[in-house]
Amino acid sequence: MSGSIVGLRGILAVLVFLFAGMVVTPAVQPLAQNATNVEGNSSQQEFWQKVRRGQTGNVSIPDTKAGQLIQSEGEEFRALRNGPVTVYGAQALIASILLLAVFFILRGRVRISHGPAGTRVERFNGIERFGHWLLAVSFIVLGLTGLNVLYGRYVLLPILGPDAFAFITYWGKYLHNHVAFAFMLGVVWVFVCWIKDNFPSRTDIRWFREGGGIIGSKHPPAKKFNAGQKIIFWLVFLAGVSISLTGISLLFPFQFPMFAKTFAFLNMFGFDLQTQLTPMQEMQYAQLWHTIVSVFMIVVIVAHIYIGSIGMEGAFDAMGSGEVDLNWAKEHHALWVEKLDREGTLHTVAEKATGETRAQPAE
Ligand code: HEM
């Protein structure tokens, strides 16, 4: 009896061995140097290249990416993301805040040199301000929730503990994924409203030469937007589009690969970038680029928020009530005021309300 069981076990073992050999051999058994297997792999190197590219055999489940047994780029991505990207990003953020603090201590608030005129003029209408605040509030929500994904585990986790941190991060991610669409709308809204006032002009050269009036008390003449604001506008647009596209790529994994195509395009201008990317690599590039551009934009916007609030007397009103003091307008956007005056559209707020004649701009 026991002899026949041993015999049966032996036959089964041989069958299992043969069956497993048939299934596994073509896919994962490394080959001897210069040998050729049924798939035509002629060397160890070629075999391991196939393992890394997910070409080792047929995968019968829907997710064919599972056929990739090793993804070496994953390790490079992890090292980059948790190394230089995280470290340099933090350094840039801290440095920009410190620099602004030092600048504020040394320079103080940029005052209206001639003092407020008391008469106010409309700078941005309701449609413009709605677009700005849609963009601003969504950007701040995305910035804070995004920074939590990058730095939360180092900064918040030790303070809040795992439960509260998990709660914040879970809902933060949820918010991030949804508020992203408000941001995209904000980028388009602001772009449409202000593109006509943001083309480069000759006056921008003088603005740069005079350092934008930030250092010293001179105010180089500017149109509706000065050269510095035009840079902010174009950065917000270009970075906004870039962050949005990579964000969509991350929101819908593997549906919108864009880096192989972008690299192929850049190669036409002398770059030498890899254009054969696996779906996983596409996701990793999207993640890296999304993070790098976002951190860069946060640094830029921190400076923008500074100058639009505590950094400059009278600036916030432009986006708050939409009305600025006439002397502020003349000092920072003299050519814009002159243009309104020439066109006969320089109506102060009081005149608009009473329907009276145009006021003389204050000297
Ligand atoms: C609390 C946050 C913010 C404040 C206090 C603020 C303030 C302002 C002010 C006062 C202006 C008008 C400047 C003028 O009249 O000449 C302005 C313009 C603008 N803002 Fe903001 N802003 C904030 C956040 C943001 C954010 C997050 C973005 C984009 C992501 C943004 C993008 C812009 C753009 C593109 C302009 C037009 C160009 C310029 O003036 O630089 N703002 N902002």
Report yes or no on 360 lying in a domain: no
* Same domain flag for 336 and 191: yes
The answer to whether residues 51 and 156 belong to one domain is no
Ligand 1 pocket check for 233: Cβ under 6 Å: yes
Tell me the range of 7-16, 99-108, 342-351, 354-363 where mean pLDDT is highest. 99-108
Mean model confidence pLDDT for the chain: 86
- Closest C-alpha among 241, 242, 237 to residue 225: 237
Residues 232 and 263 in one domain: yes
| Res 344: pLDDT | 84
Same domain, 63 and 181: no
- Decide if 359 is inside a domain: no
Helices 162-194 and 227-251 pack at an angle, to 10 degrees, of 130
The verdict on the CB of residue 190 being under 6 Å from ligand 1 is: yes
Domain closes at, from 52, 67, 82: 67
Lowest mean pLDDT across 113-117, 221-225, 302-306: 113-117
CA of 55 to the centre of ligand 1 (A): 50
Is the residue at 92 inside a domain?
Answer: yes
Task: Name residue 176's amino acid.
Answer: H
Based on the fold, state whether residues 138 and 284 are members of the same structural domain: yes
Q: What is the CATH number of the domain that holds 100?
A: 1.20.950.20
Residue 43 shares a structural domain with residue 110: no
Q: Report if residue 121 sits inside a domain.
A: yes
- Angle (CA) 308-310-315 rounded to 5° is 40
Q: Are residues 37 and 135 in the same domain?
A: no
Q: Which two tokens stand for residue 304?
A: 């923008």
Residue 315: CB within 6 Å of ligand 1?
A: yes
Query: Which residue would you say has higher pLDDT here, 262 or 7?
Result: 262
Going from the Cα of 21 to the center of ligand 1, the distance in angstroms, rounded, reads 66
- Whether 325 has a pLDDT exceeding 90, the answer reads yes
pTM over the 0.95 mark:
no
32 belongs to a structural domain? yes
Q: Pick from 304, 305, 325 the residue to mutate for probing ligand 1's pocket: most ligand atoms within 8 Å of its CB.
A: 304
- 131 with 277, same domain: the answer is yes
| Count of domains observed in the chain | 2
Looking at the structure, do residues 84 and 53 belong to the same domain, yes or no?
no
Tell me, yes or no, whether 46 and 78 share the same domain.
Answer: no
Task: Please indicate whether residue 305, judged by its CB atom, sits closer than 6 Å to ligand 1.
Answer: yes
Task: Give me ligand 1 centre to Cα 301, in Å.
Answer: 8
26 within a domain of the structure (yes/no): yes
Question: What is the distance in A from the centroid of ligand 1 to the CA of 112?
Answer: 19
In a domain? residue 89: yes
More confident residue, 233 or 280: 233
> CB of 145 within 8 A of CB of 175?
yes
The residue out of 43, 67, 91 marking a domain boundary is: 67
- Which of 5-9, 39-43, 247-251, 348-352 is the least confident region? 5-9
pLDDT for res 363: 46
311 C-beta closer than 6 A to ligand 1: no
| Shared-domain flag, residues 175 and 91 | yes
In a domain, 61, yes or no: yes
* Nearest Cα to Cα of residue 152 among 132, 129, 131, 173: 173
Domain boundary among 45, 67, 89: 67
* DSSP of 287-344: HHHHHHHHHHHHHHHHHHHHHHTTTBTTTHHHHTTSEEEHHHHHHH-HHHHHHHHHHT
Q: Which residue range forms the structural domain that includes residue 46? A: 2-67
41 shares a domain with 163? no
Does 165 have pLDDT greater than 90? yes
